[in-house]
Amino acid sequence: MNVSRRTLLSMLGASAVAPALVPTSASALSLMDPFNVASAMDGGVVKLGDGIAYAGGPRSLLDVYSPQNPTGNAPVVMFIYGGAWKMGERWEYEFVGRALASRGFVTVIPDYRLVPEVAYPAFLYDCAAAAAWIEKNIGAYGGDKGKFFLAGHSAGAYNAVMLALDPAYMRDVGAGLRVSGVAGLAGPYDFYPFTFGEVQDAFGSAANPEGTQPVKIVTPEAPPMFLASGINDMIVKPVNTHNLSEKLREAGIAVDERYYESIGHMEIVTSLGAMMRWRAPVLEHMIGFFASLNALA
């Protein structure tokens, strides 16, 4: 951990999720633009796919980034962005795709349908369908489907973790990929009852509300996980990372649990980019975790 356990435990009485999972205005989301300027992103990367359809519909598109000079079949990571399940675009996270590809990963960033068009579990099935596309096609882009990792931020971390914990989502769309490991950044994993509007909109109609919570569905078959939060995250509280980490350890699952001083909800993902990497070693720790699982062997 990068923060004392005493500091963390002092936060555990707070509500796990604040009234918004990301800034809710369109102008706030435009703050991602500076991270996607060419001079602010990692080099040595090629964008092999832009807007590839993985299913029908305008939101069923994905982008693919690859190391410029890959050696053999590269490990694959699918990064799922956040946005309270109601906003977000894959192009906003090009800096993440290029960061991960620069470290040797073929990186896939999908869009998925959002609230109010859909609610839980439709966005999970969309992400599973993107994984099914990866299984069938990623070899043509230099990726090794046998080394498949999931990563995500905020609501996207929730999506990634849920796909890893419940294989039914991928099985139902015909995907047989084995998830080698998961990296969840500032994810909401323990937020029932549904107190705030964004969460009610996305999950309020769920037939089994507690079954929507990652902390409730951990089994000994879960893959290893890297779970990280900024200690200053007032949107998705670090207690989410703590609680899921505890449940995974109880089930005998390896967990790399990290907390970063002076880092908030959005900073933990922007620190993956070349321009803001000085803020926290999130990318270094994530890649190290994947490497520990023989991703880069």
- In the prediction, which pLDDT does 100 show? 98
Average pLDDT, integer, range 224-247: 98
Burial (0-12, 13-18, 19+ Cβ within 10 Å), 268 = buried
Indicate the Cα dihedral angle 16, 287, 74, 140, nearest 10°: 30
Phi, psi of 208 (to 5 degrees): -125, 85
Q: What is the mean pLDDT of the chain?
A: 91
What angle separates helix 155-165 from helix 122-137, to the nearest 10 degrees?
70
CA distance 10 to 62: 40
- Alpha helices for 85-191 (secondary structure H): 94-102, 122-137, 155-165, 168-172
Q: Are 41 and 98 in contact (CB under 8 A)?
A: yes
The CA distance from 161 to 151, in Å, is 8
> Which pTM value belongs to this model?
0.93
Q: Give the tens place of pLDDT for each residue, 85-120.
A: 999 999 999 999 999 999 999 999 999 999 999 999
| Model pLDDT, residue 297 | 78
pLDDT greater than 70 at residue 11: no
